[in-house]
Amino acid sequence: MSEIQSLARGLRALDILEAETDGMGVTRLARRIDIDKSTASRIMKTLAIYGYVEQSSETRRYTLGPRLVRLGQSLLNRTPLRDQARPYLRELVAQTQECAHIAVRASDQVLYLDQVEATASLRVSTGVGTLAPLHSTALGKVLLAFGDNRLPELLERFTPRTITDADTLRMHLEQARRQGYAIDDEEFSYDVRCVAVPLYGLDGELVGAIGISGPGARLTLSRIHDLALVVSRVGQALSDRLAYRHEDQPSDGGDV
Amino acid sequence: MSEIQSLARGLRALDILEAETDGMGVTRLARRIDIDKSTASRIMKTLAIYGYVEQSSETRRYTLGPRLVRLGQSLLNRTPLRDQARPYLRELVAQTQECAHIAVRASDQVLYLDQVEATASLRVSTGVGTLAPLHSTALGKVLLAFGDNRLPELLERFTPRTITDADTLRMHLEQARRQGYAIDDEEFSYDVRCVAVPLYGLDGELVGAIGISGPGARLTLSRIHDLALVVSRVGQALSDRLAYRHEDQPSDGGDV
DNA sequence: TCGTTTGTTGGGAATTGTACAATCCAGGTT
DNA sequence: AACCTGGATTGTACAATTCCCAACAAACGA
C-alpha cells in the first residue's frame, strides 16, 4: 500500500533504459515492465515532460534524458571532497602506477566519486557513480572500520575469497583499524586487489576513503602492504587539506 | 489525461531536492508540490525504494540518492566523445589559459559534457551536465550552424546582446559556417565571451562542439578571433582522432 | 516537563490511473 | 498493392491512488 505503482513503474522504465544504449520503444518497454503499452506511453510522456527521458522524433524511441546528467552531477558536486581530491588522486597514480579512487558511503554501499586511471594498458577501472558493496572492497572496509561500523545485513559472496561471515569481517576491520588501512584481496573481483585509507574532515569525522586498485599480478600482497604507506601519506595530506579549507580559496590543483 | 500525476509529483520532488543541498522533510516537500503530506510521504518512500532519494535515519529528511549519479554517469559515458576529448580540453587550456568545454546537442539545448578549468583565479566555469540554450552560446551556435539548423521556437533574451531575431541569428550562423567557428559575445552571460568549433565523427557527421570561454576583459573580441585558430586546430585534431578510433586502444591521454 | 512540529499510518469519498480493445500511422516486407 | 510490425492515441469499465480527516509516536524547543 505504501508503494505507488505509477511512480515505481516510471522509475523501472528509467532503470531499463539505462541498460539500453540505443533507446527503446514503448511497446518493448511495456513488455519489460509488464504493463500495457498505452500505460507505458503515458508514463514515458510524463517522464519526457520533465526531461528524464527523451523521445527521438524519428524513431520514436525513448532514451535517458539530459536532466539525469544534471541531477547526478549536482549530487557529485555536493561534496567538496571530490574537487579537492583530484590532484591527490593524480599524485597517487603517479607514485603507484595504479588506478586511484575516492569514495563515500551511500546508505549501505560505497559510492565511487571519482577516479584517475593509470596509464598502463592493463588496469582496473571502476566507473564514477558506481555503487559497490561495503564488505568486499577496500574502500568499503575503510568506511566500515573507521566510520559507522554497523555491518550490512547480508554479506553477499562475489568470489571465493569474499568474506561472508560477520565475525571474520569484524576481525578484518579490527586489523584495518590497527594498521590504518584496509585491503581487498580479490574479494570482489577476481584478480583485483585494492588498498585504501580513511579521509577525515573538518571536525575529524570520517568523510570518505581513498585508495588504489590494480591487477593481482602486479599488485601482489607484499606490494600492497608497501604501497599502503604511500596511500596513507597521500590520504593524510588530503585529510590535512580538508581539515582547514578556506571558503573562497580557488580550488586549483594544489601540489601534494 | 496524458500526464500521470503521481509520477510527475515524484519527479517534481526530485527537482526540488536538487536545489536543497541539506535535504528536505516530507512536510515542506508536500507544501512545495502542493499535495498532502501523507501523499508526499508515500511518494518519497517509493522513490527511496528505487534509490532515487535517500532518507536520513536521524533527521528523516530526504536527499537525492546515489542512483542518480549512476544514471547520469551512464548517460555521460554513452558518448565516447567525452573520454577522448579530455586531453584535448587540457591542451586547449594550456594554450589559451581559458576554460575549455565540450558539448553535444540534447533536444533543443546544449549539454555540457565535460570541462577543464583554467588556473587563473578569474575564470568562467560551467558545470558538467549543465544545459544551456542553443542560440546564445558559442557551442550552441556551432551545433546549429554545422548540424541540424532548425532554430528553436523561442529565442529567449538573457543579456542586451542576445540575438532574439531569427533572421539575424541565421546570418550569424551563416557567418560561422564561412569562418569555421562561432562566437558568443556576451550573449548569454554578462562579461563572458566564448568561441567554439564543430567536432565530426566517423562518418563526417557533426557529433558535438568544443570551445573555450573566459571573462570579457581578458577575452576581447580581437583575441577571440586570434584564439579561434587555436581552437580550430585542437578541434580538428580531436575530430581526426574521432574519425579513426580503434576499438580496444586504451584511451590514455594521447598527446595533441 | 509540556507543548509543538514532523513523519507515518489508517480510514471513507473523490479523483486518477490501468488494461483492454479499437483505430490510425509510418516503415519495411512480401 | 497488400501485409505486417512497432508505435501512438482514444474510450470505457474497473482498479488504484489521492485527498482530507484524524490518530499517534518520535523528535524538538523552550
- Å between A2 CA and C9 C1'? 10
Which residues 9-28 in chain A have a CB closer than 7 A to strand D?
A: 24-28
Residues 6+ apart with CB under 8 A from B51: B65, B66, B67
Residue A24 has φ and ψ, to the nearest 5°, of: -150, 145
> Quick check: A77 CB within 7 A of strand D?
no
Within 10 Å of residue A239's Cβ, how many Cβ atoms? 20
Whether pLDDT at B120 is above 50: yes
- The pLDDT value recorded for residue B250 is 39
At the second CATH level, the architecture of B79-243 is: 2-Layer Sandwich (3.30)
Residue A254 has φ and ψ, to the nearest 5°, of: -70, 150
The 10s digit of each residue's pLDDT in B131-166 is: 788 999 999 999 999 987 778 778 889 899 999 998
Whether pLDDT at B1 is above 70: no
Which residues 42-101 in chain B have a CB closer than 7 A to strand D?
A: 42-43, 58-59
Class of domain A5-69: mainly alpha
Q: What confidence category does residue B2 fall into, taking pLDDT thresholds of 50, 70 and 90?
A: low
Instruction: Give the residue nearest to nucleotide D8 (CA to C1').
Output: A41
C-alpha cell at A11: 522509475
Residue B236 has φ and ψ, to the nearest 5°, of: -65, -45
Whether pLDDT at B79 is above 90: no
- The pLDDT value recorded for residue A231 is 92
Pick out the nucleotide with least CA–C1' distance to B6. D17
Selecting from A5, A42, A72 the residue whose C-beta is nearest the C-beta of B68 gives: A72
Question: Is A43 an 8 Å CB contact of chain B?
Answer: yes
Q: Which helix (H) or strand (E) segment is B212 a member of?
A: strand B206-215
> Quick check: B249 CB within 7 A of strand D?
no
User: What's the rounded Cα separation, in Å, for the pair B236 and B255?
Assistant: 14
Topology annotation, domain B5-68:
Arc Repressor Mutant, subunit A (1.10.10)
Tell me if B5-68 shares its fold with B79-243.
no
Selecting from A69, A117, A253 the residue whose C-beta is nearest the C-beta of B72 gives: A69
The 10s digit of each residue's pLDDT in B82-117 is: 778 888 988 898 898 888 999 988 767 888 888 887
> Quick check: B35 CB within 7 A of strand D?
yes
pLDDT tens digits in sequence order for chain A, 256 residues long: 457 888 888 888 888 888 877 778 888 888 888 887 788 888 888 888 888 888 877 777 888 888 888 888 778 777 778 778 888 888 898 899 888 999 988 767 888 888 887 776 566 667 677 778 899 999 999 999 998 777 877 888 989 999 999 899 999 999 999 999 999 999 998 889 999 999 988 777 888 999 999 888 888 999 998 999 999 999 999 988 887 644 433 344 333 3
User: What's the rounded Cα separation, in Å, for the pair A25 and B109?
Assistant: 23
- The pLDDT value recorded for residue A252 is 40
Selecting from B43, B70, B74 the residue whose C-beta is nearest the C-beta of A7 gives: B43
B58 to chain A nearest CA, in Å? 12
DSSP A120-170: SSS-----TT-EEESTTSHHHHHHHHHS--PPPS-----STT----HHHHH
- Where are the domains positioned within chain B? 5-68, 79-243
> Quick check: A27 CB within 7 A of strand C?
no
Q: Which residue has the higher pLDDT, B81 or A135?
A: A135
C-alpha cell at B134: 542553443
Question: Is A73 an 8 Å CB contact of chain B?
Answer: yes
From start to end of chain A, where are the E strands? 53-55, 62-64, 99-106, 109-116, 131-133, 182-185, 192-200, 206-215
Pick out the nucleotide with least CA–C1' distance to A56. D7
Question: Is B131 an 8 Å CB contact of chain A?
Answer: yes
- The pLDDT value recorded for residue B108 is 75
Q: Say yes or no for a CB contact (<8 Å) between A14 and B71.
A: yes
Residue A39's nearest CA partner among B51, A31, B10, A15 is A31
Instruction: Name residues 179-218 of chain B within 8 A of A (Cβ).
Output: none
B104 to chain A nearest CA, in Å? 10
